[in-house]
Amino acid sequence: MRWLLVKDLQILRRSPLLVVILVLYPAAIALMIGFALSSPPGKPKVAIYTGVKSGHGKIHFGTQQIDVSSYARELFSSIQPLPARSAAQATEDVRDGRALAALIIPADITQQLQAMLQGGNGNPTVQLVLNSRNPLERNLADQAIQARVDQVEQAVSKKVFRLVVHDLQQVLNGGVVNLLGQNVPLLGLRNVRTIVDGTIQSLPRSSKLLPALHQVVAFADIAIEGLAFAGPEIGTIGTPLTVQRIDLAGRTTPIASYAVAIAAVVSLMFVTLLLAAGLLALERSENAYSRLVRGLVSPEALLGEKIVLAGAAATLLALVLAAIVSIFVPLEWSRFELWVLALGVSALAFAALGVAIGGLAREVSTASLMAFLLSLPVAFLALVPGTAVSGGVGTALDVVSFAFPFRAGLQAVGNAFSGAAPGMAWPLVHLLVLALAFGILARLALRRFATQ
């Protein structure tokens, strides 16, 4: 096996383009993942047209006023606003691709809001124009704006509720109200009750006013009690539900470590599959297989040599990838030996799959194509969460993912990088079983390898 390893390394050394691609590929993935994880999310460019004239963005509510323009500035902080002179131009900006979306605010939005707040009438509406040519970009713009609109709505609600509560408190306790620039004292229910109480005390017991005044006191008591509770209750309407998050499975893999694990396993898979499948198929393409198995090398030793070479090379490259990404994302270097174990066993399973592909394809270009075509859907299907699809499809995805090393490799490597639950033992056993199964398949494929 030693001389075959030397031979394959000589061949790789004389295939500089292949080696460069195999080295650059994981390095490029590592850098892309690193930059993606360490860079802030981009802001979508959105054309903005507002028909509201400057200084006309204030809504009067009771004795207070709300400045809508301050909320508009908050909305614009999550996007790159592209001012438009008209609604038509904003729409045209989207159509021409200068903006991902357009937000059109009608001139009477202030009046619409005013009417709704005062009378509960109407449905104030702004227009969002989205370009549907690229669904991903459409989704990005939609989500960015919708999320911020939700925040603005919540902020306006809170402001309104605060004003309502403030006014109620004044009705309850009294205070000073500004009406048309004049400060007017407001008596308040509690003071009214005190005055009525004093009046009752000062009246003779036979006074005919007493029953009516007692009715006023009773009403005041009920009103005071009700309004005293009304403030906090109204305050909760703006945020009626609070979500308390509880993670049941102990530590979860941090999203950054998970992304690094995906990058490492994808690179590991491509490099191992392509090397193992290609190197085995090369033995037949060069017509050397028949000569080798005439007592020089057993088929099992030949498969073992390809698995060892492809697995070791891919593990090394994946470790390099992890080292590069660790510049951007903190990884637990204290678990380095577990990285090597998880990546090595994953590479073993992928290499066994690779030699099975090489044995079945029997030709270098076919083997490479098969390896490539197989690896993409295997990775994609393994990354689809089972709970995100219907029951039958989820089961099918689980079966496919179970039959190939990607998901188990991802679990093992993700755990090795972060130490998160659910542990490495089961994924490693799964990978070893898959390696054995694919090794047997490769050995069976070699039975027809020598025939022309």
Partner 1 sequence: MQERYPSPSSAEAVPALRVRDLTRRFGDRVAVQEVSFELAAGERLAVIGPNGAGKTTLLSMLAGVLAPSGGEAGEVTGRIGWVPQQPAVYSKLSVAENLRLFARLERLPDPEAVVEEMLEQTGLGDRRDEQVSRLSGGNQQRLNIAIGLLSHPSVLLLDEPSSALDPRQRERLWEFILGLSRQGTSVVYSTHNVLEADRYADRVLVLGDGEVLFLGRPSELAATVSGEAGPDFEGAFVSFLRARGH
Residues that bind partner 1 (CB under 8 A): 3-4, 6-7, 10-11, 14-15, 286-288, 290-297, 450-452
C-beta closer to partner 1: residue 13 or 85: 13
C-beta closer to partner 1: residue 143 or 290: 290
DSSP 188: -
Q: Name residue 12's amino acid.
A: L
* Nearest partner of 126 among 57, 55, 80, judged by Cα: 57
C-beta closer to partner 1: residue 192 or 288: 288
C-beta closer to partner 1: residue 244 or 451: 451
* Nearest partner of 30 among 331, 253, 259, 347, judged by Cα: 259
Rounded CA-CA distance 111/246 in Å is 44
How many helices and strands in the chain, by DSSP H and E? Answer: 16, 8
Give residue for tokens 């992928």: 350
C-beta closer to partner 1: residue 276 or 412: 276
Q: How far is the CB of 369 from partner 1 (least distance, A)?
A: 21
For residue 326, give Cα distances in angstroms to 37, 323, 410: 11, 5, 17
Q: How far is the CB of 296 from partner 1 (least distance, A)?
A: 4
Could you tell me the sign of the dihedral formed by the alpha carbons of 280, 285, 290, 295, in that order? negative
Give 210-218 contacts, CB < 8 A, sequence gap 24+: 216/192, 217/193
Q: How far is the CB of 284 from partner 1 (least distance, A)?
A: 10
Q: How far is the CB of 449 from partner 1 (least distance, A)?
A: 11
Q: What are 66's strand-pairing partners? A: 59
Q: How far is the CB of 6 from partner 1 (least distance, A)?
A: 8
C-beta closer to partner 1: residue 205 or 294: 294
Rounded CA-CA distance 402/422 in Å is 16
Q: How far is the CB of 327 from partner 1 (least distance, A)?
A: 36
All residues at 6 or more sequence positions from 351 whose CB lies less than 8 Å from its CB, including other chains: 272, 273, 275, 276, 306, 307, 308, 310, 311, 314, 435
Q: How far is the CB of 78 from partner 1 (least distance, A)?
A: 56
C-beta closer to partner 1: residue 8 or 93: 8
What is the DSSP code string of 307-330? HHHHHHHHHHHHHHHHHHHTTTS-
Could you tell me the sign of the dihedral formed by the alpha carbons of 426, 430, 435, 436, in that order? positive
All residues at 6 or more sequence positions from 417 whose CB lies less than 8 Å from its CB, including other chains: 253, 257, 260, 261, 264, 322, 331, 332, 335, 339
C-beta closer to partner 1: residue 296 or 403: 296
C-beta closer to partner 1: residue 49 or 449: 449
Q: How far is the CB of 452 from partner 1 (least distance, A)?
A: 7
Cα angle 285, 374, 319 (rounded to 5 degrees) comes to: 90
Q: Which two tokens stand for residue 38?
A: 């360490």
Q: How far is the CB of 372 from partner 1 (least distance, A)?
A: 22
C-beta closer to partner 1: residue 86 or 287: 287
Q: How far is the CB of 305 from partner 1 (least distance, A)?
A: 12
DSSP 243: P
Cα R_g (the chain), whole angstroms: 36
C-alpha 123: how far from chain center: 32
Q: Which two tokens stand for residue 291?
A: 């000569």
